[in-house]
Amino acid sequence: EYLASSPARRVRVRRLLDVAIWHHPEPRTVLDVGAGIGLAVSEAPARGLRAEGVEPSIWCVETAARVNGVKLLCGTLEDCSARLGTYDLVLLVDVIEHTEAPLRLMEKAAEKLAINGRMVIVTPDIGSLAARLMGRRWWHHRVAHVCYFNRASMRRALRICGLEVLRDIPSGWRLPVP
């Protein structure tokens, strides 16, 4: 299912990269944390970016190489930190909700930011209208999601990590036209 959703995910990651680049006028490097099957890493060169990614899933790392032709480091950001440099852009897209220590992950990711670097964080909003209306049936209530944020708690978490919000926009999904 994850692989089958790649076309929609690719459209989404293109938009996220474009938004990130708009906020950092001359980025050269990007790090994708929780890179999945390497969609952001594979899309970044078309935007003039040198990209690296880390991903703890062996299946995802192997699939990234086989399907998208990109090499990812296998492990967590903490595992791979010594092999990574600093980056103009650091992406945490649909990853912090999977960790029991989201603030630690954000702090580690912030350590990888170059001077004037930007971080893009995408995570489900537990305070969204859809979440409130759907309650327990909300599609983001799943076993793999172990923590949630709303806009206020995310801002608080970012402040604790020494980060500030430059722009807060709903990520949403954009589907490719067949």
**In 3-state terms, the chain is what percent helix, strand and coil (to 5)?**
45, 20, 40
pLDDT profile of the chain (178 residues), mean per 10: 84 92 92 97 97 97 97 97 97 92 95 95 79 76 77 91 84 56
26's tokens: 């001359």
Global pTM reads: 0.89
Q: Which residues contact 5 (CB under 8 A, 6 or more apart)?
A: none
What is the pLDDT, as a whole number, of residue 132?
77
Q: d(Cα 40, Cα 19) in Å, to the nearest integer? A: 13
HSE, side-chain direction, 13 A CA sphere, residue 167: 13
Which H or E element spans position 32? Answer: strand 29-33
